[in-house]
A and B are shown apart, each in its own frame.
Chain A
Amino acid sequence: MSTVADSTRVADAAHQVVRDHDPTEVPVHEFLAATFDAGLAWVHFPEGLGGLGVPRGLQAVSDTIIQDAGGPVPFSLNPIGYGMAAPTLREHAGTDELKREWLRPLASTEHIWCQLFSEPGAGSDLAGLATSAVRDGDEWVVNGQKVWTSLAHRARWALLLARTDPDAPKHKGLTYFVVDMTGPGVETRPLRQMTGQAEFNEVYLENARIPDAHRLGAVGDGWRVAMTTLMNERSSIGSSGSRRGSGTIADAVALWASRPELHTPVLEDRLTRLWLRSEAQRLTSERSRALATVGGPGPEGSVGKLVGAELNQHVYEFCMDLLGPEALTYHDYTMRDLQRGEDYRGPLQQRFLRSRANTIEGGTSEVLRNILGERVLGLPGDLRADSGKAWKDIPRG
């Protein structure tokens, strides 16, 4: 079988990388650049663009070898870059030079990426967004406000969805761009979240200029390009690790083991249910990975996002309930920006509060159930008050 040969090829390449660039010795950027050059950043990408052109399911082969050797988990260092920007750039960037120019520093995590999609008036209904892009010769001039932009304060590049035709129906008038976050006309202001930290931001775009070469896909075809980003986002957000008992559930199980004096049968069954659900989801992710071919993730990825998000919340609710009043303290509400490399998850209480975002970010659970219902099961869509109307005539608020 060719998959066996592919698997060996991936494993050989991974062993070679950790041999030539000991991840416990060399700087993280250097190591990750080497994995890119070896085609192990996204094994299903073409050779020369961080991949080997082999099935996507084989990524786990490489990741396991690299992580067992003490290598970093690049996704956690550049989540939007790895999870969403890379697949979008690979599919839609104009030239191979541009792809390479963007992908290599993305992979090395020298360049952090962010996603300028949501706006104050457009969240679940992303296609209703108002930020405008107007053509000016070889450039586009962008004006508008984005919100909830994770990592904008550290990002070098951004994925931007903007309106280029307000007279078209909402999905038809969008165009997709890559924006230089360090360029003129881009202003980032931190937004504080309920944990006290500032992970996300508001981004103001005032006459920001983008070269036309940095447009992804055709003018007016931004929605289709955005779908690549969103499908990948959802399939990358799932909580379960690939090893049994890893991921969020590990926090609850270890906490349980550390506090035998708090055990009761009712709590035990609650934890067992969570463990079981997380195991069933882990097996389901393994199954979809095993069946995945070279193509991108389909709407089934939404199962993992939906289950993972709710599971994270239930896991931390369980931990809080286990500890009771003991957990009603906090470490620090001082507003601060997360520093690179620090354990962003913080203490239990912060993880608990942070998990409230899981059912909102990357598509709310309600929207994901719509997607499963409509795109996987083929159920009819909801009644839409805005269908067929020009975007500028749709009520907003």
Chain B
Amino acid sequence: MADSAEFVFSDEQRELRAAVRRFAADQSDEQVVRRLMESDPGFDPKAWARLGGELGVLGLSVPEELGGVGGTLVDQAVAVEELGAALFCGPLFGTVMLAIPALVAAGDEQLLPALVEGTRTAAFAVGDRGGAFDPADVSVRATADGVLSGTVERVVDAAAADDLLVAATGPDGVGLYAVDAAAAATQARRTQLTTLDSTRRQATVALDGAVGRPVAGPDSAQRVITHALQVGAALLAAEQVGGAQHLLDLSVEYAKGRLQFGRPIGSFQAVKHTLADMLVEVEHARSAAYHAAWALGDGSDDPALAASIAQATASRAFAGVATDTIQVHGGIGFTWEYQAQLYYKRAVTDAALLGSAEQHRGRIARLVLDTASADGAPWVATGTE
């Protein structure tokens, strides 16, 4: 909890990492991932409840007064990174990356304890435009009594969620509402979609007269949603780092062991240099993701800029590393049986969620280039000196 120097992990954080890694090795090996991704609801609720109840890693940055352990966002990023490395199946995106940060920002005590315990899960039914929130995009309407109607497309983790957080436009503006999905089953219809990444499910949520409890009113909803999207961007980047590091390790091992022309393929420079470039990408993504986690936690940087730097860097890193992983493995990298495809699909999915690298670069351009000063520009020789 105490302020720690940026990038320096505490002993507790190292222990946390080791504990989550052990749990993932035990509960989420490749066989388990493959079984769960072809089952319903797509994850193991008992394993999820253990993550929340036993390990206590679902609400690490939730303040104690709201039912959490009062850790930091860096703690949460460490746990998410390890779960990402194992391609852990579960509603991390909807619950941990978005709903919990939104509820914390809203100061809502009601739903947090069960989400943090892992006995309930949530999805964030708020359309974002490239990772940013625009009230004009809200597709759900609310009456003054919080009765909601409208459709939200492709909501991650919504099919199995117990709680839906829905942005809706009411008479006084946009608010964030909580819908109990089981209680409102007929007024909140969820249609499960077949997803590119079977380990990260999506559903379309059609609301027709569902009753929502206001979590954040028009005066605070925008702030709450924006905060959730920024924290989500930082945590998603941590997940991307975990996935990318796993693939780099896998590719390096393969390149050491696979022999062609009588020598390991890793001794060929075309392969070796590809792996060296992958290393650079992973290192950059790690720096950008953890900078965002530190900065959003302690306010040491502009949160919008830090989140965009993290997403623009980590999305490209994970997707690029996943692409190269397939190439370095040759034919086996293209098979259904080999794990590269699972991570590749996650990488493509993560790159598009909460804004693409391009959308975040566009935002960085607005924040950095539009405000830049011409002072110190190098002189340009004119040929008449």
**A interface, CB within 8 angstroms of B:** 3, 245, 250-251, 253-258, 268-269, 271-273, 275-277, 279-281, 283-284, 286-287, 290-291, 300, 303, 306-307, 319, 323, 326-327, 329-332, 345-351, 366, 368-370, 372-374, 376-383
Q: Could you say which of A276, A281, A329 contacts B383, with CB atoms under 8 Å apart?
A: A329
B252 within 8 A of A: yes
Given the complex, which residues of B lie within 8 Å of A279, measured CB to CB?
288, 309
Once bound together, how far apart are the Cα atoms of A99 and B369, in whole Å? 47
Q: Is the CB of B280 within 8 A of A306?
A: yes
B247 to chain A, nearest CB (A): 13
**Contact flag A349-B368 (CB < 8 Å), given A279-B309, A307-B280, A379-B252:** no
Measured between beta carbons, the chain A residues less than 8 angstroms from B279 are 303, 372, 376-377
Please choose the segment from B106-114, B145-153, B176-184, B269-277 that sits at the chain A interface, where 4 or more of its residues have CB less than 8 A away.
B269-277
Given A330-B383, A383-B263, the answer on whether A280 and B272 have CB atoms closer than 8 Å is: no
Complexed CA–CA distance, A369 and B323 (Å): 19
Please tell me if the beta carbons of B381 and A369 are within 8 angstroms of each other in the complex.
no
Interface size class of B (residues with CB under 8 A): 35 or more
Q: With A290-B7, A348-B378 known to touch, is A382 a contact of B309 (CB < 8 Å)?
A: no
Chain B hits for A319, CB < 8 A: 378
CA distance A275 to B312 in the complex (A): 11
Taken together as a complex, chains A and B put the C-alpha atoms of A159 and B251 apart, in Å, by 40
Instruction: Check B283 against A303 for contact (C-beta < 8 Å).
Output: yes
Say yes or no: A377-B284 contact (C-beta < 8 A), given A272-B365, A348-B381. Answer: no
User: Is B287 an interface residue, CB under 8 A from the partner?
Assistant: yes
Enumerate 16 A-B pairs (CB-CB under 8 Å) in ascending A order.
A257-B373, A269-B365, A275-B368, A290-B7, A303-B279, A329-B383, A330-B383, A331-B385, A346-B381, A348-B381, A370-B273, A373-B275, A377-B275, A379-B255, A379-B256, A383-B263
- B173 located at the interface, meaning its Cβ lies under 8 Å from any Cβ of chain A in the complex: no
Question: Interface majority SS on A: helix, strand, loop or mixed?
Answer: helix
Cβ 8 A contact of A257, one of B272, B312, B313, B377: B377
Q: A286-B7, A290-B6, A307-B280 are in contact. Are A253 and B379 (CB under 8 A)?
A: no
B39 at interface (Cβ–Cβ under 8 A)? no
Q: In the complex, A255→B380 CA distance in Å?
A: 10
Contact B313 A258 (CB under 8 A): no
Enumerate chain B residues within 8 angstroms of A257, measured Cβ to Cβ.
369, 372-374, 377
- Interface check B361, CB cutoff 8 A: yes
In the complex, chain B residues whose CB is within 8 Å of the CB of A283:
284, 287-288, 291, 309
Q: Are B385 and A374 in contact (CB under 8 A)?
A: no
Q: How far apart are the CA atoms of A330 and B382 in the complex, in Å?
A: 6
Contacts of B267 in A (CB 8 A): 379-383
Q: Are B272 and A373 in contact (CB under 8 A)?
A: yes
CB within 8 Å of A: which B112-152 residues: none
Check if B5 sits within 8 Å of A380, measured CB to CB. Answer: no
Report whether B313 and A280 are in contact in the complex, using a CB–CB cutoff of 8 Å.
yes
| Contact A303-B280, Cβ < 8 Å, known A373-B272, A383-B267 | yes
Asked if B364 and A276 sit within 8 Å, CB to CB, the answer is yes
* Closest A residue, CB atoms, query B371: A257
Q: A283-B287, A287-B286 are in contact. Are A250 and B272 (CB under 8 A)?
A: no
B364 near A254: Cβ-Cβ < 8 Å: no
Of A280, A290, A300, A368, the contact of B284 (CB 8 Å cutoff) = A280
Does the CB pair A379–B266 fall under 8 Å? yes
Considering the chains assembled together, what is the distance between the CA atoms of A323 and B380 in angstroms? Answer: 9
Cβ-defined contact, A245 with B368, below 8 A: yes
B375 within 8 A of A: yes
Task: Give min CB distance, A10 to chain B, whole Å.
Answer: 14
| Shortest distance between the CB of A7 and any CB in chain B (Å) | 9
Q: Say yes or no for B376: interface residue by CB 8 A criterion.
A: yes
The docked-state distance in angstroms from the alpha carbon of A291 to that of B286 is 14
Q: Which residues of A contact B287 (CB under 8 A)?
A: 280, 283-284, 286-287
B88 contacts chain A at the CB level, 8 A cutoff: no
B290 within 8 A of A: yes
Chain B residue at minimum C-beta to C-beta distance from A250: B376
Distance in angstroms between the alpha carbons of A221 and B248 in the assembled complex: 35
Interface residues of B in 1-24 (CB under 8 A from A): 5-8
Residues in chain B near residue A251, CB distance under 8 A: 376-378
In the complex the two chains form, is B377's CB within 8 Å of A380's CB? no
B171 beta carbon closer than 8 Å to chain A: no
- B286 to chain A: which residues have CB within 8 Å? 284, 287
Measured between beta carbons, the chain B residues less than 8 angstroms from A276 are 309, 312-313, 361, 364
Instruction: Please determine whether B272 and A369 come into contact, CB atoms closer than 8 angstroms.
Output: yes
For the complex of A and B, 7 pairs with smallest distance between CB atoms: A329-B383, A258-B374, A280-B284, A283-B287, A373-B272, A331-B381, A254-B377
B63 proximal to A (CB < 8 A)? no
